[in-house]
Amino acid sequence: TRTHTFAAVDLGASSGRVMVAMVGPGSLRLREVHRFPNRPVRVGGTLHWDILALYGGVLDGLRAAGAAAGGRLAGVGIDSWAVDYALLDADGALLGNPVHYRDTRTDGAPEKIAAAVPPEELYAATGLQHLPFNTVFQLVAARGTPQLAAAKRLLLIPDLISYWLTGEAGTEITNASTTQLVDPRTRAWSPVVAARLGIDLGLFPPLRSPGDPAGFLRPGVLAETGLTAGGPVPVTAVGSHDTASAVVGVPADGDDFAYIATGTWSLAGLELDRPVLTEASRAANFTNELGVDGTVRYLRNIMGLWLLQECLRTWEAQGDPQDLDALLEAAARATPLRSVVDAGDPAFLAPDDMPRRIAQACVRTGQPEPRTPAAVTRCVLDSLALAHRRAVEEAQTLSGRTARTVHIVGGGAHNTLLCRLTADATGLPVVAGPAEAAALGNVLVQARAAGVVGGRLADLRALLRATQPLRYYDPAGDRTAWDEAADRIGAGTVTGTGR
């Protein structure tokens, strides 16, 4: 049997990477061929994504992928972070750098929208959790700008990369669901919501689904990446929302599992076959994002390892750089649950001095201020584990489903302390890995579309279990200590709506 080499372009908020996977019946080998930093740039007071640098990284990665595949790539798939978009003019030219979801331009937009469509109605129509940066809020913030007025087309980030690579435009549905303009029951646009918010759905190219063809690498791209000799290279729509691909990449056995995709964000919840649109679900700020194969990602956004990344950035800027491995070792020895913060607090959203904000939150809730990098790191990881526990428990209550295992995928799967604390806090066994679940979910959907592997999500996941190294953590310790810590913080969610 022949193996085929597929490339996954996976753009995360902290780094972009291009991975190649050798896929055959019963075999799957993933290799990173290129990783590049994703460094946002503030210009004119606005935080932007450096999209051309990212595209340059994608081209470098495809060149490396082609070399790894002996010049013959069976396909390319693209996924990235959600929500953000680029505007193009009538000639297809980029109208400015995409704005970062952590930019403050959306301040006040939710209030404007609530006046046009009450939050209850917006949730009933779209099932999306309230994140202050959802695409609808960004579009309302951009209303009246010359850029939006000149725009003839709107492309979400992975769709933009795909357009540049192929010349063909589409809107992939899993990521489209994060705009807050899609009805999760029909899996189509919600014209009513768009009309009431004055958003022109005509800006979006037609919807496509994971597995749909998305064109071929253009001749110029083939030339630039050294891929001209291998014949046409198809681009396939995958779960273009990185979290959609990451959930495909969860190596679960059966359906009684919870997952936590932990990278810059922690996305913690359940895979469902239909949305939960109840008022209780809205109040708890759970989202119903659309997944591969008709699934729903029922989850909550938790601030994630952003908290740690921003601490590291701050310490470095203050002339006190930390080594991550040494820091995590010291954190593992630090006093458990000494101070915890609400890992959903919107105060942590923007880039800024994170150790200071964490200390302030501890003081505000009458807890000791963590004073050393190790103590701050322990506080972050205890707080994330606590938020993981709350999301996993509430997702079950709100959906009526039961989880017997927690899968941790994404970069955080490397963090053994976080995995152990999550097992202890949830009281459930944790299976950690793969860290590159998004890239794996990306290539598996491509390989299936190409007929190289077959089957349903369960079959793709069986292939992952058979081929990817995983780590197991059994819960230990006294769960009442976690209850007590939870009581210290009146935890809300990223909206700050509170309990």
| Catalytic residue numbers, as ranges | 242
Q: Which is nearer to ligand LRH, 265 or 315 (CB)?
A: 265
309 binds, among ligand ADP, ligand LRH, none (CB under 5 to 8 A by kind): ligand ADP
Sign of CA dihedral 117, 183, 213, 32: positive
Q: Which is nearer to ligand ADP, 241 or 461 (CB)?
A: 241
Give least dist CB 79 to ligand ADP, A.
Answer: 10
355 binds, among ligand LRH, ligand ADP, none (CB under 5 to 8 A by kind): none
Stretch that binds ligand ADP, among 107-115, 292-300, 404-412, 468-476 (CB under 6 A): 404-412
Q: In angstroms, rounded to a whole number, what is the distance separating the alpha carbons of residues 418 and 402?
A: 22
Name the residue with tokens 């935080």. 47
Residue 263 is a binding residue for ligand ADP (CB under 6 A): yes
305 binds, among ligand ADP, ligand LRH, none (CB under 5 to 8 A by kind): ligand ADP
Sign of CA dihedral 3, 8, 14, 15: positive
Closest CA to 152 of 202, 206, 199: 202
Q: Which is nearer to ligand LRH, 11 or 217 (CB)?
A: 11
Residue 242 is a binding residue for ligand LRH (CB under 6 A): yes
Residue 184 is a binding residue for ligand ADP (CB under 6 A): no
Residue 40, classed as helix, strand or coil, is coil
Beta strands in 143-228 (DSSP E): 153-156, 171-172, 182-183, 188-189, 207-208, 213-216
Q: In angstroms, rounded to a whole number, what is the distance separating the alpha carbons of residues 221 and 198?
A: 37
410 binds, among ligand ADP, ligand LRH, none (CB under 5 to 8 A by kind): ligand ADP
Q: In angstroms, rounded to a whole number, what is the distance separating the alpha carbons of residues 49 and 70?
A: 32
Q: Which is nearer to ligand ADP, 218 or 414 (CB)?
A: 414
| Kind of pairing between the strands at 234-236 and 213-216 | antiparallel
Q: Give the tokens for residue 73.
A: 């790539």
Question: Cis omega (within 30 of 0) on the bond before 355?
Answer: no
415 binds, among ligand ADP, ligand LRH, none (CB under 5 to 8 A by kind): ligand ADP
Buried b (16+ CB within 10 A) or exposed e, 350-369: ebebbbebbbebbeeeebee
Size of the site for ligand ADP (CB under 6 A): 15
Give least dist CB 402 to ligand LRH, A.
Answer: 24
Size of the site for ligand LRH (CB under 6 A): 13
Stretch that binds ligand LRH, among 46-54, 55-63, 77-85, 227-235 (CB under 6 A): 77-85
Residue 411 is a binding residue for ligand ADP (CB under 6 A): yes
Residue 495 is a binding residue for ligand ADP (CB under 6 A): no
Q: Environment class of residue 294 by beta-carbon count within 10 Å: exposed (0-12), middle (13-18) or buried (19+)?
A: exposed
Q: In angstroms, rounded to a whole number, what is the distance separating the alpha carbons of residues 331 and 417?
A: 8
Residue 28 is a binding residue for ligand LRH (CB under 6 A): no
Residue 11 is a binding residue for ligand LRH (CB under 6 A): no
15 binds, among ligand ADP, ligand LRH, none (CB under 5 to 8 A by kind): ligand ADP
Contacting positions for ligand ADP (CB under 6 A): 12-15, 263-264, 305, 308-309, 324, 410-412, 414-415
